[in-house]
């Protein structure tokens, strides 16, 4: 009886998410009832935000009227929560959007224990070497310096911008030659680090306290880098999962409209195969041919400064609706993938969508557009958090709630003042 149930589960998984053929998570678990699904976090950041009146419902609670931009999520209404009144109490317009996942600008990070670490990297540090990639930081724009992910030393994490590179990282079997090259690269990195540490030790003699503190920070960064090298070494001889999913030819040359679902497809497979448990995805520009949107004639940045001109808002709504629609498609894929424990992949995945920009037309970074789906929270509502004087409820309160749900035993994250009130876990 148990054997038959496992076989049926196996066949079901084979038919979902790109005809997956092998799931590492299943190999070590002969009894599906004992399987505990790991927590995951994804965070999608839209650089120019959303037109506020088209995103935020007027009513709070369960019986809110669905605004224009949330209509693609109609079938998932009980699987997500829409938030109002959360932000980082920042100004700075477009520049502040880089700190959407951290809440602290890099030049204001002095005095914080972990600089301006972003929520995804805090979670990734907790995962460590349990997965091939502690995290994946992705960006759809190949020509932008924008980033959402920051290390605990305040350094920006350079994102993966190529679909083809991402696919190779996740599923391409290493040849004998490529494995040898990877091993030599790791050896070279160790040698460089050893040399750097030796030189730094020499410099430390006779230095003042301030310079010694800087060197200590440097050594901490070196140790973190060494740990990443060791983690990479451990995965060199482990086979990557096999998948029947194939990217279209020359995927990186496609328009944004064509590439976006492919990013979400690979994200789904990365989570499903436990190649990673933490992913961030940034959308910063339309790229060539205005992203492939037929009725979008002006540039994305120009449209975001619409000046309340209806024709400009209509064009902008095409882009914004597309992003919500693709997020909805991603959630549907997660919801229809059933894990060995009998729950969906969405049940274990906290899927965040939002922006560090609330109103690009006025360069406002207050009252940010935020959605959170899945992850074992009670959803189905519009939650509004009122201001206290000039201060809003910190968005980092939501991030703290997410990190605790992820498994971290912490009571503070960056600018948080506590966990987010009213956000309840299922059960």
Q: Which of 34-38, 143-147, 296-300, 318-322 has the highest mean pLDDT?
A: 318-322
pLDDT score for 214: 62
Lowest-confidence pick of 36-45, 106-115, 199-208, 247-256: 199-208
Q: How confident is the model at residue 249, as a pLDDT?
A: 93
* Residue 47 confidence (pLDDT): 93
Q: Are strands 370-374 and 382-384 parallel, antiparallel or unpaired?
A: unpaired
Residue 13 is predicted with a pLDDT of 43
pLDDT at residue 192 in the model: 62
pLDDT above 90 for 402: yes
**pLDDT tens for each residue of 333-384:** 999 999 999 999 999 999 999 999 999 999 999 999 999 999 999 999 999 9
pLDDT score, position 239: 87
Q: What is the mean pLDDT of residues 106-125?
A: 90
DSSP 3-state assignment of 364? strand
Q: Is the pLDDT of residue 30 over 50?
A: no
Mean pLDDT rounded to a whole number for the chain: 85
What pLDDT, on the 0 to 100 scale, is given for residue 110? 80
Please report the pLDDT score of residue 337 as a whole number.
97
Average pLDDT rounded to a whole number, residues 122-135? 94
Top CATH class of 2-143+156-170+243-406 equals alpha beta
The pLDDT value recorded for residue 107 is 84
pLDDT, position 155:
85
**pLDDT value at 19 more than 60:** no
* Averaged pLDDT for residues 399-414: 97
Q: Residue 54, SS3?
A: helix
- The SS3 of residue 373 is strand
Read off the pLDDT band of 22 (50, 70, 90).
very low
pLDDT of residue 18: 41
- 8-state DSSP, 358: S
pLDDT, mean of residues 302-318: 94
pLDDT at 80 over 80: yes
Q: What's the average model confidence in pLDDT over 32-52?
A: 89
Please enumerate in sequence order all residues whose Cβ is within 8 A of that of 374, keeping only pairs 6 or more positions apart, or say none: 79, 80, 331, 334, 335, 346, 347, 348, 349, 350, 351
**Averaged over 386-390, what is the pLDDT?**
80
pLDDT (0 to 100) of residue 388 = 79
Question: Would you state the pLDDT for residue 350?
Answer: 98
| Contact between residue 224 and residue 153 where contact means Cβ atoms under 8 Å apart | yes
Q: C-alpha 37: how far from its chain's center?
A: 19
- Name every residue whose Cβ is closer than 8 Å to that of residue 172 and which is 6 or more positions away in sequence: 240
pLDDT higher than 80, residue 197: no
SS3 at position 243: strand
Q: Provide mean pLDDT across the span 31-48.
A: 85
Whether 58 has a pLDDT exceeding 90, the answer reads: yes
pLDDT value, residue 142: 78
Instruction: Report domain extents, the chain.
Output: 2-143+156-170+243-406, 174-238
pLDDT at 24 over 50: no
Q: Which residue has the higher pLDDT, 105 or 11?
A: 105
Confidence of residue 213 (pLDDT cuts 50, 70, 90): low
What is the Cα–Cα distance from 116 to 38, expressed in whole angstroms? 26
What's the token pair of residue 12? 């079901």
Band of the pLDDT at 11, cuts 50, 70, 90? Answer: very low
Q: Quick: pLDDT tens for 170-196.
A: 998 765 555 566 556 656 655 665 666
Between 212 and 98, where is the model more confident?
98
Name the E strands within 211-361.
278-283, 349-354
pLDDT tens across 218-235, in order? 555 555 555 555 565 567
pLDDT at 175: 58
**What is the structure's pLDDT at 254?**
95
């Amino acid at each position: 009886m148990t054997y038959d149930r496992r076989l049926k589960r196996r066949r079901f998984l084979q038919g979902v998410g790109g005809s997956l053929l092998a799931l590492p998570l299943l190999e070590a678990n002969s009894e599906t009832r004992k399987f505990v699904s790991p927590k995951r976090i994804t965070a999608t950041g839209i650089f120019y935000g959303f037109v506020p009146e088209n995103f935020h419902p007027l009513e709070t609670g369960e019986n809110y009227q669905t605004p224009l931009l949330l209509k693609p999520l109609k079938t998932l209404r009980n699987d997500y929560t829409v938030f109002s009144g959360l932000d980082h109490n920042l100004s700075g317009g477009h520049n502040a959007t880089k700190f959407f996942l951290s809440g602290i600008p890099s030049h204001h990070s002095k005095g914080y224990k972990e600089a301006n670490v972003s929520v995804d990297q805090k979670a990734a540090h907790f995962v460590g070497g349990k997965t091939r990639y502690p995290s994946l930081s992705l960006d759809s724009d190949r020509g932008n310096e924008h980033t959402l992910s920051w290390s605990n030393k305040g350094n920006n994490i350079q994102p993966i911008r190529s679909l083809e590179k991402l696919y190779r990282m996740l599923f391409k079997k290493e040849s004998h030659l490529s494995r040898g090259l990877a091993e030599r690269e790791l050896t070279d990195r160790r040698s460089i680090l050893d040399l750097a540490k030796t030189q730094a030790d020499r410099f430390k003699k006779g230095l003042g306290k301030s310079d010694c503190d800087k060197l200590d920070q440097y050594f901490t960064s070196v140790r973190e880098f060494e740990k990443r090298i060791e983690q990479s070494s451990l995965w060199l001889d482990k086979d990557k999962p096999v998948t029947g999913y194939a990217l279209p030819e020359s995927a990186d040359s496609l328009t944004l409209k064509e590439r976006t679902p492919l990013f979400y497809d690979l994200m789904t497979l990365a989570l499903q195969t436990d190649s990673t448990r933490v992913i961030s995805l940034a959308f910063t520009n339309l790229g060539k041919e205005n992203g492939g949107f037929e009725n979008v004639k002006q540039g994305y940045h120009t449209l975001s400064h619409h000046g309340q001109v209806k024709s400009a808002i209509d064009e902008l709504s095409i882009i914004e609706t597309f992003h919500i629609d693709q997020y909805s498609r991603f959630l549907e894929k997660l919801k229809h993938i059933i894990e060995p424990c009998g729950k969906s992949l969405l049940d274990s995945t906290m899927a965040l969508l939002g922006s560090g920009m609330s109103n690009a037309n006025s360069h406002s970074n207050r009252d940010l557009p935020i959605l959170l789906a899945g992850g074992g929270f009670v959803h189905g509502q519009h939650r509004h958090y009122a201001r206290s004087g000039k201060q809003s409820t910190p968005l980092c309160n939501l991030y703290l709630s997410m990190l605790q749900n992820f498994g971290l035993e912490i009571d503070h994250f960056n600018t948080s003042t506590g966990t987010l009130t009213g956000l309840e876990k299922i059960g």
